[in-house]
Structure 1
Amino acid sequence: MLDVVALLPFVLAANLDSIIQTQRCRLILSFHRLPSQSILRPEIHKVMDLLERSGGNFLHGLYTLFLFTKSDIPLVIVPSLIIAYAAAGPTDPVALFHAFLWLELHLLVFEIKNQALGIEEDRLCKPYRPFVSNRASLKYAQHIYIIALATAFCYSFYHRLQLVTLMYFFGITAHNELELAKIAVLKNILSGWGYACFAWGSMYIIGHHQPLSSTSIHAVATTFLIFSLTGHAQDFRDRSGDALMGRKTIPLIYSQRVARASVVLAMAALTYGLLRRWSPPPLVVGAITFLFLMTSVLFSVQHSEEKDRKNFMWYEMWFICAHLLPIFERYRAQNM
């Protein structure tokens, strides 16, 4: 369901395009039924051109926004919505969509600035991104960033989340402009800070603006710890890009054995701690333990960047399942 929500704006865009094309066809039929000398023929022709341009420009713009955050859907959008729903749900589709939109706006603010500063890395690793593929002009990057930031602040004001957005803004400024992300340990902590903000805001919206419960607060701490301790798992697949940008990530400054062991040990500690804290049923315990073991074995045995890109899927599944665990505490509380 969450994947559907995450892609809902693009489904709506496709429907809008269908509506535009339908109306255009109707206008074409009307156009051909008019007498050849009718004074309305030029006007209808103008309307048809306007509809075609408007629909095309809208879809192009929406798809460009999607490309800014495309790579973050499985690792940011989905886990953030999952942990928010698990801790603060159940909710209604409208609140879930508001939470998605709030997340997307804040993620867009980060990605616009981050991608504007990382053109060479994206040219090597993610050539589909808007700036490097020339879908969006780098000349207007700062303007787009300011508009996105202002929109995010306004939307947060609507949801009474100004403090969260302000904390998030300080974090992404430290990450991007101050370049603290080039320091290996701080990169993970700053990313964990961002995840905590995502979870906090999403929970507050999904919970219909009620104060966060103790379960929700612990869930926010959970997402911060998970990424702060294991976030560098994603850096193994981007070693060439990080080296090009001069970043000092853990996979680059330590030997492969040490760097990979740090992920495995952190995942082991987190898996044990999270299972103890949230007490899921045995089947879930077995599933998360299996995902941890698969990730650990593949990360330890296969060291090529290409293999890391493929094996990262196992980490993503473990990461997403770990974010689902708070739902069991909420379920037990509701059935007491």
Structure 2
Amino acid sequence: MSSFAATTLRSALRHCETAWLFTGSDFKTLIFPVMVFATVVSPRHEPLALACTVCWLWFHLFQFNVSNQSYSADEDIVNKPWRPLPSGRISVEDSRALRWALLVFCLGLSSLFSLNVVITSGVFAVLIILHDDLRLGHHPIFRNLCNVAAYVTAGVGCSLILSGESSLDGTSIKAFSCSALVIVLTIHAQDFADVNGDRKSGRRTLPIVAPEGSRIYMLCVLPLLSFTLTSLWGLGPLCSIFFVSIGSWVGLRYFLFRDEIRDQSSYRLYNIWLMGVHLLPANGRFPVLAW
């Protein structure tokens, strides 16, 4: 292998590693839950469509994270020093240029599917602008609303690509409505472990504004939502008890364990519970959870 080819390969691998560092930590928070959800609510499941859906979702996550992390480099020095900006792999100026290039790329990628997917991609880009450039991400309420809207928008785009349809059916609409409500009521679960960095950056999250009340809220709302969803999707008694128990345990952990390490563990368990939330609509198409 020539020195030019070897240098090119090393450069390409470094760029791939940088892209992974931008997105790797959000596979559990976005890629896996959204893909599970889209697969559950979609009436069709074809391998090629599934691969295209994962690709579309990852590039949109990449776009969001490059933009968001270009504004949070100081905070990430405390919370996530391994990310590309605080570790010096890429500059703020280059990351912001990359962000706009990714916006154009994502719109072009969406045009390969349908007009509604392009519109979904455009809405996703607008939400990024609102969250990062217009600084709504620093407001405790608007930040959560932007994140929920982006999450649901990504799910809608994935469902449209996976199903090959131009619009969503009734079961999908009901599922996305439930998802949006659950996330808007619990999305601050991600903020407990990041209190130190958020406080340093001046961000006002619910755990900072109401440190005790936010934990009491999690203790109450997770079991209540779990019970409501099992009734809404018609789960059987054993599945209902199991799902409500998971939600109750996660809520209890947030209330009892209050150090950063345990908050990180609680957030991982919360994501398992959230993935369960997105599996429940399967009972709306097939009675697989009626026992």
Q: What band does the TM-score fall into relative to the shorter chain?
A: over 0.9
Question: How far 1:243 moved relative to its partner?
Answer: 0.4
Cα deviations by residue, 1:209-233 (Å, 9 ceiling, x for unpaired): 3421111111221221121110001
* Structure with larger Rg: 1
Q: Does 1:134 align with 2:124?
A: no
In structure 1, the partner of 2:265 is 310
Instruction: Report percent identity of matched pairs.
Output: 26
Question: How far 1:185 moved relative to its partner?
Answer: 1.7
**Which residue of 307, 320, 332 maps to 2:275?**
320
Instruction: Give secondary structure in 2 for the equivalent of 1:176.
Output: helix
Question: What is the rounded CA distance, in whole Å, between the counterparts of 2:267 and 2:160 in structure 1?
Answer: 30
Q: Does 1:257 align with 2:257?
A: no
Cα contact 1:86–1:324 (8 A) shared by 2: yes
What is the aligned-residue RMSD (CA, Å)?
1.6
Cα deviations by residue, 1:12-43 (Å, 9 ceiling, x for unpaired): xxxxxxxxxxxx5xxxxxxxxxxxxxxxxxxx
In structure 1, the partner of 2:179 is 223
Structure 1: state its 5+ residue gaps.
1-23, 25-47
**Which residue of 197, 214, 236 maps to 2:153?**
197
Cα contact 1:229–1:263 (8 A) shared by 2: no
Q: TM-score, normalised by structure 2?
A: 0.93
Instruction: Give secondary structure in 1 for the equivalent of 2:262.
Output: helix
Q: Does 1:279 align with 2:234?
A: yes
Cα deviations by residue, 1:225-254 (Å, 9 ceiling, x for unpaired): 121110001100000011011111100011
In structure 2, the partner of 1:150 is 104
Structure 2: state its 5+ residue gaps.
none
Question: How far 1:329 moved relative to its partner?
Answer: 1.2
Letter in 1 for 2:254: F
Letter in 2 for 1:175: H
Q: TM-score, normalised by structure 1?
A: 0.81
Letter in 2 for 1:313: R
Mapping for residues 1-336 of structure 1, pairs under 5 Å: 24=1, 48-160=2-114, 161-254=117-210, 256-332=211-287
Question: What is the rounded CA distance, in whole Å, between the counterparts of 1:223 and 1:70 in structure 2?
Answer: 23
Cα contact 2:75–2:198 (8 A) shared by 1: yes
The number of residue pairs the alignment matches comes to 286
Cα deviations by residue, 1:263-288 (Å, 9 ceiling, x for unpaired): 23332332122111212344432332
Cα contact 1:156–1:165 (8 A) shared by 2: yes
Question: What is the rounded CA distance, in whole Å, between the counterparts of 1:215 and 1:245 in structure 2?
Answer: 41
Cα contact 1:232–1:263 (8 A) shared by 2: no
Cα deviations by residue, 1:46-103 (Å, 9 ceiling, x for unpaired): xx32332232222221121111111110011100000100000441221111111111
Letter in 2 for 1:291: I
Instruction: Give secondary structure in 1 for the equivalent of 2:161.
Output: helix
Cα contact 1:195–1:223 (8 A) shared by 2: no
Q: Cα distance 1:53–1:284, how it changes in 2: closer, same or farther (>3 A)?
A: farther
Question: What is the rounded CA distance, in whole Å, between the counterparts of 2:280 and 2:11 in structure 1?
Answer: 42
